[in-house]
Amino acid sequence: MEHINAIILAAGKGSRMNAAKPKVLQVLSDKTLLGHVLTQAQALCSQVFVVVGFGGDQVRHFFKDDSIHWVGQAEQLGTGHAVQQAMPHIDDDSISLVLYGDVPLIEQSTLEKLTAQVQKSGVALLSVILENPTGYGRIIRQNNQIQAIVEQKDASIEQLKICEVNTGVMAVDSGLLRSYLSKLDSNNTQGEFYLTDIIAMAVGTGKTIASVIVENECEVAGVNDKIQLATLERAFQKNQASQFMQQGLMLRDPARFDCRGNLSFGQDCEIDVNVVLEGDVSIGNNTTIAPNCIIRNTKIGDNVVILPNSLIEDAVIGDGAFIGPFARIRPESKIGNNVKIGNFVEVKKSTIGKGSKISHLSYVGDTVMGEEVNIGAGVITCNYDGVNKHQTTIGDGAFIGSDTQLVAPVVIGKNALIGAGSTITKNAPDNALTLSRAKQSSLKKGIKNHD
């Protein structure tokens, strides 16, 4: 394929966003608007130029990508002027693909079709047919051939009836583009240099304008305010949800599901309403996620049940685990196979061994827990001394009675029994009862009392 340069126009302030940061840094799903465009451009083009103006330093700092060529546009004098800023860095023997930093859902397949047309005619234009074309430049055709683009404010009454509109996206032989740009003027109602004027110039020199009409209008929709951003977010999520369901994922209501990242899943998985997945999430076979859960950067095994209102982030959930409701699994936690993490339980930076149970109202942090451990209601690990975090180790088969505090660093032995209501500050031996309260007449031999 001929050498392709992407020129992404991202210099606008986006005042209708009513936001401090530049419009192209607004987020759709898991990426900024400009990030979506860059993904497609970098996959197709050998060089990517981004024209920035308002907040340009913010935009550069956000991406920190050495492969991007940043070009400044100090004055916003129109799209033609913006493209001119990139041309000194572009060879004539190439294709220039003009994209927009606030048009995030453009597909690579569409751009491939468009650039392929340039070799035939030198100029290829992407258009779309809208039921309501108000505000867009109209495509003027004669004998089905594109003759010009007329902006809304410059269009006649007859031209305003045309429903085929310019998307702004075009691919042009770079040598031709340089020649046309040098002839632009600002003799229009806006007093700007319109990139679209090069179409009439090309026609005037005998060029036939190649045309690609995009079918999905969301693919070429721009974002100017928060309403349009939300509209495209839903379109993006609806498209993802449809793809997932076609691949076998059961979504109880695809309109109430968000995936803001990458999702992989096995067979017979079900996700209920208002679940949000972020980052990289993988789900095994026959796993169910109940309503109102947020799961971020997590690997979930087979036959897992996640009950409502649970938050899981940067964790690994083993096969057969049972999580929630109202559970919080914090980063660097590894939940073993067949573990139960019950209601109002928080686990942080801990490994929970196979078959262990933390059923109610507990906090377990910086802990290595063995297999078949039972943690009673209200148990907490006191892992922070005000300066440093310390580790708690709990051996296989241990039973921690309700309302117990384990003051780290501390080791609870295998098959140890910790009496309810204890505050354990010293290591507890294997196979023995340990508690910290007054002796009772029913206590038997082998008890170690911390008092």
Catalytic residues: 360
Alpha helices (runs of H) in 20-161, residue ranges in sequence order: 33-44, 56-63, 79-86, 108-121
Residue 277 labeled ligand binder: no
Instruction: Say whether 285 counts as a known binding-site residue.
Output: no
80 annotated binding-site participant: no
Residue 396, marked binder:
no
- Tell whether residue 102 is among the known ligand binding residues: yes
Which residues touch 29 (CB under 8 Å, ≥6 apart)? 233, 236, 237, 258, 259, 260, 261
Is residue 249 within 8 A of residue 266, CB to CB? The reply is no
374 is in an annotated binding site: yes
Q: Is 246 annotated as a binding residue?
A: no
Count the neighbouring beta carbons within 10 Å of the beta carbon of residue 9. Answer: 28
Question: Annotation-wise, does 101 bind a ligand?
Answer: yes
User: Does 12 count as an annotated binding residue?
Assistant: yes
Query: What gap in Å lies between CA 57 and CA 183, rounded to an integer?
Result: 31
Look-up: residue for tokens 């197709």? 44
Is 82 annotated in a binding site? The answer is no
Distance CA 174, CA 189 (A): 28
437 is annotated as contributing to ligand binding: yes
Q: Residue 196, annotated ligand binder?
A: no
Backbone angles phi, psi at 12, to 5 degrees: -70, 150
Residue 412: how many other CB atoms lie within 10 Å: 27
User: CB neighbours of 337 closer than 8 A, spacing ≥ 6?
Assistant: 301, 318, 319, 320, 321, 354, 355
Q: Was 448 annotated as part of a binding site?
A: no
78 is in an annotated binding site: yes
Instruction: Measure Cα distances from 262 to 53, 114, 258, 424 in Å.
Output: 32, 28, 11, 43
Residues placed in the known binding site for acetyl-CoA: 377, 383-384, 402, 420, 437
Residues placed in the known binding site: 9-12, 23, 73, 78-79, 100-102, 137, 151, 166, 224, 330, 348, 363, 374, 377, 383-384, 402, 420, 437
Residues placed in the known binding site for Mg(2+): 102, 224
Residues placed in the known binding site for UDP-N-acetyl-alpha-D-glucosamine: 9-12, 23, 73, 78-79, 100-102, 137, 151, 166, 224, 330, 348, 363, 374
